[in-house]
A and B are shown apart, each in its own frame.
Chain A
Amino acid sequence: MVSDTIQFIYNNRILKIKNPNPNQTILDFIRSDLKKTGTKEGCAEGGCGACTIVIGELKNQKLIYKSINSCISFLPIINGKHLILIENLNSDNKLHPIQEAMVKYHGSQCGFCTPGFVMSLFAMYKNFSKFNDEIIDETLSGNLCRCTGYRPIIDAAKSLNYKNNIDHFKKNEKQIIKLLKRIKDIDIEISYKDKKYFAPKTLSSLKKILKKNSNTKFLSGGTDLSLEVTKQRGDIKNMISLNSIKELQFIKKTKNFIEIGSGVSLYEFQNIIKSYYPDFYNILKRYGSVQIRNVGTLAGNIATASPIGDSLPLLLSLDSLLRIKTSKLIKTIPLNEFFLSYRKTKLKKGELLYSVQIPINRQSYFKAYKISKRFDDDISSVCASFNFSIKKNIILKANVAYGGMSEIPRRASTIEKALTNSTFSEDTFLKAQKLISKDFSPIDDMRASKNYREDVAKNLIMKFFYEVSSKENLGVS
């Protein structure tokens, strides 16, 4: 069964839109069609959070709430979900506890960013029961405010710890779940003028769609793809959303590796990887924002092949494997061989990234560093990742990978060679770091100069050594 109509819950009702424009953003829909103007456009690229809305969805019979950037989300992705806007937060003319706290602690000045902050806090309020500094910082890292200096907003967030967390959404939960269940879980196929949008539920439907439609783009989180519309003012004719394919939504843990299905969000992934590689988690927490990680996927980060994709050097140093679905089979290749040149990969037309396998080795020394102008929500100028086996002070394995140092994220093979089978000593590392220019010739751009990139890349090798040998965190953050 296929439907040409998207359905979602808004204001306790099911709204249906037949063949919507798949290139329309949710933000544009909210402001132009729903005529609700509380949600703002600040940047149209998911970089300021003014457009933050919350999407409610059913997972294992439970309602979960995700903050997302409505400015870079295409309208059809709300199919089967609960759309929550700033205007929906108060009920019976009473402010929601978050809104109350924001007023009480003077959390707004010009007020333009405020709805976005309130919505990010709303998602936090629904998903956590206690709000410590770490949770608050993470929640707000994708929302920019130019007036307040954030302190009053943080105070407002902290004050929520002392509030009863029963709001009208809690009271209404059963009704919402009932409505959500009423929306049939079937394939979506939209035609709007010359544009098509597909959201298959299974790999087999996907296969059929691919057979009939050759020129299509895969939509996963869409945080990159959407910019073709919102920034380049282009059109995306044919899109296939991978978000509804259940077979891609899996996490497999074995003794030797974890496997992440390509439909798993970065936010979900960060909480999985935390117990295996804490540094991976720390870098992921600085990957975009919660709004971005709620929709963005690890597979998307790999397939877009950005030279600075922040998970890539980490995955490279960990000897990760990719599983690629062709029309016939699933093949496995090392990530190290996947990137060909700037934004080019081995992925052929019609092929799909199925999953990522990350080897687990609890004996290894794994560290990762991200250097950027701003700590939160910034693209790195250099990202470095180290994965070493050291026995009896001899380096048996030295995996060193960098992002931001060349047109693709890459391993530092000369340096690796120099380190392997050497003694784990300052001298070894001092010698090895000098080889950076043999492995990389980075560029100058607005994020960093070539010189700085080289200097930092060298220093990070030393930092890895000093941190492992001293067992101390030598960074400032």
Chain B
Amino acid sequence: MKNEFLFNKNLAHDSGIKHVSGLAEYTDDISEPLDTLYGAIGWSKKAHAKIKKINLDKVKKSEGVVSVVTYSDIPGRNDVGPVFDGDPIFPKTKVEYFGQPLFAVAAKSVEQARKAVLKAKIYYHELKPIITINEALKKNNLLFKPRIIQKGNPTQKISKSKNKIKGNFTTGSQEHFYLEGQVALVIPREDDSFLVYSSTQHPSETQQILAKMLKKKSNSIDVLVRRIGGGFGGKETNFITSAICCLLSFKTKKPIKLRLDRDDDIIITGKRHDFFSDYEVGFDDHGRINGLKIKLASRCGMSPDLSLAINERALLHLDNAYFLKDIEVTNYLCKTNTASSTAFRGFGGNQGMMAIENILDNISRYLKKDPADVRKINFYGKKNRNVTHYGMKIKDNVINELFEDLKDKSNYKKRVNKIKQFNKINRFKKKGIAITPVKFGISFTTIHLNQAGALVHIYTDGSIHMNHGGIEMGQGTHTKIAQLVSNSLGVPYEKIKISATNTSKVPNTSASAASSTTDLNGAATLNAVSRIKSNLSNFIKKKYKIYSKIEPIYKSGNIYFGNRVFNFDQIIKEAYLNRISLSSSGFYSTPKINFNKKIFKGRPFYYFCYGAAVTEVTIDTLTGENVLERVDILQDAGNAINPALEHGQIEGGFVQGQGWLTMEEVIWGNDGKIKTFSPSTYKIPAVTDIPKIFNVEIYKKGLNVEKVVNKAKTTGEPPLMLAMSVFFAIKDAISSISNYKKIPDLDAPATAEKILLSIKKIKNII
């Protein structure tokens, strides 16, 4: 039963009109104080080297340069690592990746600053760089000791299995390619404090890291973020831009703007982790997995950053939607001389899921069964087979019915046969189809991060000011939370003013990440609203002598106590005159969750999101080119607050995932130089890459069984994984060349080149 109170309106994004008019203000658009200087970063041209000497004489003399900073200008912590050290702002003695910042300048114009940094003379003593996962594994160059997790007895189960296969699989890196690059504007203020505008998903940590860098207290740094032009995880811990900007401001005592151009942005900042897996699996004749042993290794780059949490999420999602009782995982965090790999939508979960999906795909091809059937037989059950490999009982499983529903809706069975016919007739064009499920766990797996704060004011004219710790990065969190507030107070949405996320309004916030922004901050905001409502109720009851225990209803601009009606605006005025507080902070912490990282056991997730996608592709076997003919998606968004915005997340997430698994390829040379650092060499999907037919539906029966705001389910990260179906549809098409007798050897991303190579292998040409 859906509560009539619930609010499901397809309102446009709160900034929609401003976006289309060019009036939405991003950090680079804020009007600068007159004496603002502009920054640029000078970075390492070697991937691994001792720094012999840095000569900045010519830089200092370059036209317009006002100041230069190096590590010796940092009064406090020379590191921006969020959890562990390892990410120096400027390294003292050794560079560990091509693009690592070494110094920065402030100049009178952007152009002067950028020209000046090119004039540095840096003398290196080169060391051999380690670039790939393979090299790191061979040399045992790891960030942490390998971690082994064992549940049940996989060795025995595999040896007793009738069928066994072994193999390995790689998924590639991915550049975030947010359209707005990293940028900060720092303005020094009295008392040695700083106002920081930054394009970040994490204002609170920006505040802490900048304070530590300057050896100041956190209260001397205020961070403000009205909106960011895309984040996708790439602005969760990339504090290097704001830190350097703030350091320049500290040294010059001037406002500084530092905006990385696109090349610097891609060269300096970290990307998605590539993952390599090596597995052995035993299964029965139906394809049901008996036991699995798998090694998972990831390219972490030169420092830990968030790699531990990302790898943990990979391990936690190795099951995707499948019951894996007997399993052994060994996890390697490879240290490489590349920019530190970082958060990216999916946060390791998607890499873990691709590993298991590839295994299931191979099992079904080995048994010559429809992969959909093999996937299904491995699904978690409702009453039994419902405990994850980390010991969490799943209570909200809808994957079986959702998967079936989508198979029907998309005509999967019929199309499989039609495609087989097509492939018989056509010599060069081949079609493929795949259906893949998604189960994605929601919550930060670092339990203490699952908290949020908010601040709500009602002014005497009845207008409302709303603030919370979430960052608006396109997902529409402000819009959805304003909808919740409007619904809770029974006032028009237009009365609610959305304001910039601000560390001085809401302290100690978590990053806008882990798909949890609206869940957490929405609940905290509603908590603030309910406190104000409670003040109002008490006031009305006392003043108007209402003694019954009846709960007031806020609706249509009125407050109803049974048949007594009070006008909202009027009551606000009265409350003010009677000295009633009309402002409150709010707080929320996610209940029920716990996770013992040491023994890898507990309930790390408050709930799961479910979804599935069917993709049909055609490939050109002469060139490897491919096209998405049709995609059908069914995604559980619970009782969505704003279905239109969820649709946007689902489609956008899918296309981003499609890019990750098909055309997006980050390429490093053997010397560690990144070769793909601009849109001319790094290709994200463009307009004609999207499916020719694109049917996206929100699962109508969806309802969150937990007490999440509006009983909704997030759509932040999960839709990215729907694109797994693209990869396996391509594999299906390649397999057809062998009349479905062979298992294609294909790694992600499935570029035209990799597809053609896989075709050659299946034809035994190589």
Contact = CB atoms under 8 A, between A and B. Distances in A.
Interface in B686-724: 686-690, 694
Contact of B689 (A148, A376, A459): A376
Contacts of A463: 428, 622-623
Contacts of A379: 680-681
B152 interface: no
B688 A376 contact: yes
B573 interface: no
A434 B362 CA distance: 34
A36 B22 contact: yes
Given A144-B686, A476-B618, A114 B178 contact: no
B20 A102 contact: yes
Given A43-B679, A146-B179, A477 B623 contact: no
B683 A373 contact: yes
A143 B689 CA distance: 13
B21 A89 contact: yes
Contact of A373 (B23, B651, B655, B751): B751
B688 A141 contact: yes
A137 interface: yes
A154 interface: yes
B625 A148 contact: no
B679 A45 contact: yes
Given A106-B12, A154-B687, A373-B751, A47 B625 contact: no
A144 to B, nearest CB: 6
Contacts of B653: 149
A237 to B, nearest CB: 15
**How big is the B interface, by class?**
35 or more
A288 to B, nearest CB: 10
B127 to A, nearest CB: 24
Given A48-B179, A144-B679, A452-B756, A111 B229 contact: yes
Contact of A95 (B17, B179, B647, B675): B17
Contacts of A445: 675
Contacts of B602: none
Given A36-B22, A151-B694, A109 B676 contact: no
A231 interface: yes
Interface string B173-186: 00011111100000
A112 B648 contact: no
Interface stretch (B25-33, B73-81, B562-570): B25-33
Contact of A375 (B15, B429, B680, B689): B689
A103 B644 contact: no
Contacts of A98: 20
A475 B12 CA distance: 40
A222 interface: no
A325 to B, nearest CB: 31
Given A104-B12, A460-B622, A149 B684 contact: no
B373 interface: no
Given A110-B474, A146-B178, A233-B118, A377 B620 contact: no
Contacts of B618: 476
B228 interface: yes
B757 A111 contact: no
A115 B230 CA distance: 15
Contacts, number: 244
Contacts of B620: 474-476
A109 B12 contact: no
A378 interface: yes
A86 interface: yes
Nearest to A466: B428
Contact of A111 (B18, B655, B656, B690): B18
Contact of B228 (A39, A47, A110, A369): A110
A447 interface: yes
B689 A87 contact: no
A462 interface: yes
A385 to B, nearest CB: 15
Contact of B12 (A43, A44, A103): A103
Nearest to B16: A103
Given A95-B21, A373-B751, A137 B665 contact: no
Q: Which of B16, B261, B645, B654 has the most CB of A within 10 A?
A: B16
B47 interface: no
B408 interface: no
A87 B22 CA distance: 6
Given A371-B625, A452-B756, A147 B648 contact: yes
B227 interface: yes
A410 interface: no
B17 A103 contact: yes
A156 to B, nearest CB: 9
Nearest to A445: B675
Contacts of A37: 22, 25, 28-29
A373 B21 contact: no
A475 B430 CA distance: 10
A395 B111 CA distance: 58
Given A449-B753, A452-B756, A146 B626 contact: no
A225 to B, nearest CB: 15
A447 B443 CA distance: 39
Nearest to A374: B683
The majority secondary structure among interface residues of chain B is loop
Interface in A89-103: 89-90, 95, 98-99, 102-103
Interface in B643-670: 644-645, 647-648, 651-656, 663, 665, 667
Contact of A151 (B118, B263, B651, B675): B651
Given A39-B22, A151-B694, A231-B263, A377 B655 contact: no
Interface string A213-256: 00000000000000000010100000000000000000000000
Contacts of B177: 144, 146
Contact of A149 (B230, B678, B690): B690
Interface in B1-21: 10, 12-13, 15-21
Interface in B133-183: 176-181
Contacts of B760: 455
A26 to B, nearest CB: 15
A303 B245 CA distance: 42
Contacts of B194: none
Given A112-B229, A466-B428, A446 B686 contact: no
Contacts of B624: 456
B680 A47 contact: yes
Nearest to A86: B22
A115 B476 CA distance: 18
A146 B684 contact: yes
B115 A145 contact: no
A115 B689 CA distance: 21
B648 to A, nearest CB: 5
A38 interface: yes
B307 interface: no
Contacts of A99: 17, 20-21
B179 A376 contact: no
A447 B622 CA distance: 18
A160 B516 CA distance: 36
B473 interface: yes
B387 interface: no
A80 to B, nearest CB: 25
B431 to A, nearest CB: 10
Nearest to B652: A149
B623 A149 contact: no
A50 interface: yes
Interface in B411-444: 428-429
Contact of B20 (A118, A141, A477): A118
The 9 closest A-B pairs by CB, nearest first: A38-B22, A112-B229, A110-B474, A47-B679, A111-B19, A109-B474, A149-B655, A86-B22, A37-B29
Given A108-B19, A110-B474, 6 more contacts: A37-B29, A40-B28, A48-B179, A87-B22, A112-B26, A452-B757
13 contacts: A40-B229, A42-B679, A44-B262, A47-B680, A87-B23, A102-B16, A113-B179, A150-B690, A378-B683, A445-B675, A451-B757, A459-B622, A474-B428
